[in-house]
Amino acid sequence: MAIMKADKLGVSVAKGPSLMTGAVPKKDWPDVEAIFKPGNYAYPAKKEMMEYHSQKTFPNHPGLFGEPRDWDPEADDWKLPENWKEIILNGIKERLDKFRSLKIFMDCCVRCGACADKCHFFLGTGDPKNMPVLRAELLRSVYRNDFTLGGKILGKIAGGREMTFGVLKEWFMYFYQCTECRRCSVFCPYGIDTAEITMMGRELLHLVGVNINWIMEPAANSNRTGNHMGLQPHTFKDNIIYLCDDIEEITGIKIEPTFNRKGAEVLFITPSADVFAEPGIYTAMGYLLLFHHIGLDYTWSTYASEGGNFGLFTNNEMMKKLNGKMYAEAKRLGVKWILGGECGHMWRVVHQYMDTMNGPADFLEVPTSPITGTRFDNAASTKMVHISEFTADLIKHGKLKLDPKRNDHRIATYHDSCNPARAMGLIEEPRYVLQNVVNNFHEMPENTIRESTFCCGSGTGLNTDEIMELRMRSGLPRANAVKHVRDKHAVNMLSCVCAIDRATLTSLMNYWNPDVEVCGVSELVGNALVMEGEKERETGLRFEPLAGMEG
Amino acid sequence: MLLQELLIENKGEILEAWVDQVLATYPEDGARIFKKEKDQFANPVGYAVKNSLWEVYTLLFEKNETAKIVAALEQMVQIRAVQTFAPSEAVSMAYTLKRVVKSVCHKEKVADLEGWQAFEEKADILAYTMFDLYAVSRERLYQTRIAEIKSGNHITTDGGCPSKLMDKNIAPKAELKTINV
């Protein structure tokens, strides 16, 4: 690389292509090429993974994922099928007919710009193609060119763009720089759900075999063993038993949960990360303590052993298939209703799609808490209740014995996980729970929480380490708000109700605010619960000393 | 007029030009919004750049300011260390300041060699500090990546089935694959 004089550097940057994305500010956006470099893209799916999906996940749906192959995003040849353009255009046509929302979203945007500065990817990068309006325009321009009269006649003048390899590259870059968090939708006067545009973009890319491994491998694991982690039944069970051993060491209470038990009243489903990965396992210990505390008649399932659904980030066929096990297992076990753990996108799938895709669950009852008698009419159609709703109801009825002082070593704040907050309106329940289990709690600024919450920056299957830099900049708006309460109130614990958050916010904090830890709300519940017959607690669920027990 | 007087009297003009030129390192459409939005949570990049540069400018006239300079620059450099800049661009702000001040000197016809030497020394301290902060940020980024790999998160894709990891013959192989990521 030529050595430039210092005073020319700024100019060269402003006029030359950015080294990572190729974003050139002085050109019109359609003329800016997407350039793939190490660190700005997630690795493509392994060939054997796609062979697995073709042969095992969808043996009767040829073409859903293109031809399995090894390919390199940095290469000029992506080994696409010869008729890839035709496949994409047919795919758009099929989806315009099938999904009315897509047709509306393609037509009704007036480019008012209300969404432009609301995306965490845009705020962290300044890249105009990360403005939701422009990201959608990547697809909309092709729609205009080939599916509207104006575009067919006037082409570029009407905002149309021909589908080219360059456009396909842009799609792969920017539809994987959107976490489908839907913050932009909150500000759109027309209610355009940009997440659905990204979903369609990714579906179309799959048709020609353009995909990422971090999504396709967990999806394959999920299809094979029931969960993303690929845990087989005995391992899933063993891990929970290990957690029970830890609980016994900390509290003196022996918990013996049941698995795949027919006739249980409630089936409990949570992300497999809660069973296997830190810090999710502490959240799972919280669940175990809570259920033991109230004597809930429930069972775990080693088949429906995953709440998350990477199908949501793939295509609607995959989402439906991976979700199917929830109702299937509930029916097989003969439970009355389903209780769901702390997960983010699981709740978008459950709340907005499950009933349509795999319902009606008429073999289940409208969930009623056996402890308080509360009937959860909000879950009358899905028959599935969120753990925070369930816990808040228990607290409201005085059914839990809590000692919030046991969380006095924590100064907490709460991150509204995108999907529970914006896709199912779960906003007050976790806060009510937190008010009752921690003494030190501080909210982040209003425009960064509740419906306006900022994404962790790594959702929708982007939580892979090869794009760590990208994740750190897209997570900046969230980290920036955490920094504020850390500096002002000495906050040291970021609580949330999402398994991906628990993993990714941990990395985000490691970079931006290293002294802030991350936990699930149920972990703090578990710490505070006073169990009958317990020994004096000296540590929290992480074996960390409680306040006053440090010595 | 002495350079120091010029720096104080033209503070507003210099800072505006400095902030503008630093924000011009972002794509034009992005920079426009970064300049306009005042809320620090709705505009973390624009706010950090403006805040850092304003704070550090006042420190140019103070003594024993090293810790304060670090505190003032930290967030801005940490942000630029994970954005799509070459390292030299990411920490080019001190040179941008020299350029801005030179241009104001030229306009106001100020020729104060001693003053310039003192100012340049300060500007160089900013440059060195930003270089150090950049290196620390990159180091922290890699540590973050390593910590995540060690946390078991990668098992979702790189470890094969965790049940199989219990087989000691397979575990070392899985570990090697991780290092190659």
Which chain B residue has its CA at the smallest distance from A276's CA?
Answer: B152
Closest CA to A437 of A333, A343, A541: A541
Q: Measured between alpha carbons, how far is residue A126 from residues A112, A234, B31, B33, B80 in Å? A: 18, 48, 7, 8, 12
* Domain final residue pick, A180, A211, A242: A211
**B124 shares a domain with B99:** yes
Residues of A in contact with B85 (CB under 8 A): 13, 18-19
Which chain A residue has its CA at the smallest distance from B31's CA?
Answer: A126
pLDDT surpasses 70 at A88: yes
**A180 shares a domain with A206:** yes
* Amino acid at position A533, single letter: G
**A253 shares a domain with A203:** no
**B83 shares a domain with B162:** no
**B159 shares a domain with B138:** no
Q: What is the number of alpha carbons within 13 Å of residue B126 lying toward its C-beta?
A: 28
Of B34, B86, B141, the CB nearest to A511: B141
**Residue B167 has what pLDDT?**
42
d(CA A452, CA A442): 17
**A142 shares a domain with A178:** yes
pLDDT band per the 50, 70, 90 thresholds, residue B65: confident
pLDDT tens-digit readout, B9-29: 999 999 999 999 999 999 999
Does A536 map to a domain?
A: no
Does A550 map to a domain?
A: no
pLDDT surpasses 90 at A1: no
Which chain A residue has its CA at the smallest distance from B94's CA?
Answer: A6
**B159 shares a domain with B132:** no
**B157 shares a domain with B144:** no
Query: Is A484 part of the contact surface with chain B (CB cutoff 8 Å)?
Result: yes
Closest CA to A227 of A271, A176, A264, A184: A271
**B102 shares a domain with B32:** yes
**A233 shares a domain with A190:** no
pLDDT surpasses 70 at A19: no
**A398 shares a domain with A266:** yes
Query: Is A126 part of the contact surface with chain B (CB cutoff 8 Å)?
Result: yes
pLDDT band per the 50, 70, 90 thresholds, residue B154: low
Query: Is A138 part of the contact surface with chain B (CB cutoff 8 Å)?
Result: no
Of A19, A117, A469, the CB nearest to B82: A469
Q: How far is A47 from chain B (nearest CA, A)?
A: 13
pLDDT surpasses 60 at A336: yes
d(CA A115, CA A417): 19
Query: Is B133 part of the contact surface with chain A (CB cutoff 8 Å)?
Result: no
- Who's near A96: CB < 8 A, 6+ residues apart? A102, A103, A106, A143, A147
**B145 shares a domain with B159:** no
Domain count for chain A, please give it: 2
pLDDT band per the 50, 70, 90 thresholds, residue B177: very low
Average pLDDT over residues A362-369: 98
d(CA A204, CA A234): 38
CB contact under 8 A, A214 and B156: yes
The DSSP-derived string for B48-100 is HHHHHHHHHHHHTT-SS-HHHHHHHHHHHHHHHTTSS--HHHHTTHHHHHHHH
Q: How far is A382 from chain B (nearest CA, A)?
A: 28
Average pLDDT over residues A329-357: 97
> Nearest 10 degrees: CA dihedral of A456, A458, A461, A467?
-170
Q: Give residue A452's domain range.
A: 217-528
d(CA A307, CA A69): 30
**A137 shares a domain with A226:** no
The tokens describing A115, both together, are 């969404």
pLDDT surpasses 60 at B169: no
pLDDT tens-digit readout, A45-54: 999 999 999 9
Average pLDDT over residues B51-76: 92
* Amino acid at position A316, single letter: N
pLDDT surpasses 80 at B117: yes
Q: What is the largest CA-CA distance in chain A?
A: 78
Instruction: Cis check for the bond before A279: say yes or no (omega within 30 of 0).
Output: yes
Average pLDDT over residues A368-372: 98
**B96 shares a domain with B33:** yes
Closest CA to A125 of A503, A513, A471, A418: A471
Query: Is B1 part of the contact surface with chain A (CB cutoff 8 Å)?
Result: no
Q: Is A340 helix (H, G, I), strand (E, B) or coil?
A: strand
Q: Does the predicted TM-score (pTM) go above 0.95?
A: no
Q: Measured between alpha carbons, how far is residue A262 from residues A38, A79, A265, A329 in Å? A: 50, 49, 9, 10
**A328 shares a domain with A269:** yes
Opening angle at CA A462, ends A460 and A466, nearest 5: 170
The tokens describing B10, both together, are 């033209």
pLDDT tens-digit readout, A491-517: 999 999 999 999 999 999 999 999 999
**B106 shares a domain with B162:** no
Q: Measured between alpha carbons, how far is residue B95 from residues A531, B55, B140 in Å? A: 63, 17, 25
pLDDT tens-digit readout, A512-541: 999 999 999 999 999 999 999 999 999 999
**B112 shares a domain with B157:** no
pLDDT band per the 50, 70, 90 thresholds, residue A8: very low
pLDDT surpasses 60 at B86: yes
Domain count for chain B, please give it: 2
Does A2 map to a domain?
A: no
Residues of A in contact with B96 (CB under 8 A): 10
Q: Please, what is the average pLDDT of chain A?
A: 93
Name the residue with higher pLDDT: B181 or A455: A455
pLDDT surpasses 50 at B166: no
**Residue A160 has what pLDDT?**
93
Q: Is A509 helix (H, G, I), strand (E, B) or coil?
A: helix
Does A159 map to a domain?
A: yes
Name the residue with higher pLDDT: B64 or A415: A415
**A410 shares a domain with A307:** yes
**B137 shares a domain with B172:** no
**Residue A492 has what pLDDT?**
98
The tokens describing A414, both together, are 């709460």
**Exposed, middle or buried: residue B97 (CB in 10 Å: 0-12, 13-18, 19+)?**
buried
Closest CA to A385 of A361, A396, A362, A369: A369
pLDDT surpasses 90 at B96: yes
CB contact under 8 A, A19 and B85: yes
Question: How many percent of chain B have pLDDT more than 90?
Answer: 72
Interface test mutation site (partner B, options A450, A473, A482, A483, max chain B beta carbons within 10 A): A473
d(CA A130, CA A176): 10
DSSP state of A265: S
pLDDT surpasses 90 at A29: no
**A386 shares a domain with A366:** yes
Q: Does residue A521 contact residue A496 with C-beta atoms inside 8 Å? A: yes
CB contact under 8 A, A126 and B144: no
**A140 shares a domain with A260:** no
Q: What is the largest CA-CA distance in chain B?
A: 78
Query: Is A113 part of the contact surface with chain B (CB cutoff 8 Å)?
Result: no
**B172 shares a domain with B118:** no
Q: Give residue B37's domain range.
A: 3-150
**Exposed, middle or buried: residue B107 (CB in 10 Å: 0-12, 13-18, 19+)?**
exposed
Helix A165-174 × helix A132-147 angle, to 10°: 150
* Amino acid at position A24, single letter: V
Q: Is A47 helix (H, G, I), strand (E, B) or coil?
A: helix
pLDDT tens-digit readout, A433-479: 999 999 999 999 999 999 999 999 999 999 999 999 999 999 999 99
pLDDT band per the 50, 70, 90 thresholds, residue A484: very high
**Residue B157 has what pLDDT?**
55
**A129 shares a domain with A93:** yes
**Residue A16 has what pLDDT?**
44
pLDDT surpasses 60 at A24: no
pLDDT tens-digit readout, A157-193: 888 999 999 999 999 999 999 999 999 999 999 999 9
Query: Is A399 part of the contact surface with chain B (CB cutoff 8 Å)?
Result: no
Closest CA to B27 of A343, A472, A22, A507: A22
**A401 shares a domain with A375:** yes
Opening angle at CA A328, ends A326 and A334, nearest 5: 100
The tokens describing B145, both together, are 């990546």
Does A3 map to a domain?
A: no
Average pLDDT over residues A146-165: 92
**Residue A22 has what pLDDT?**
41
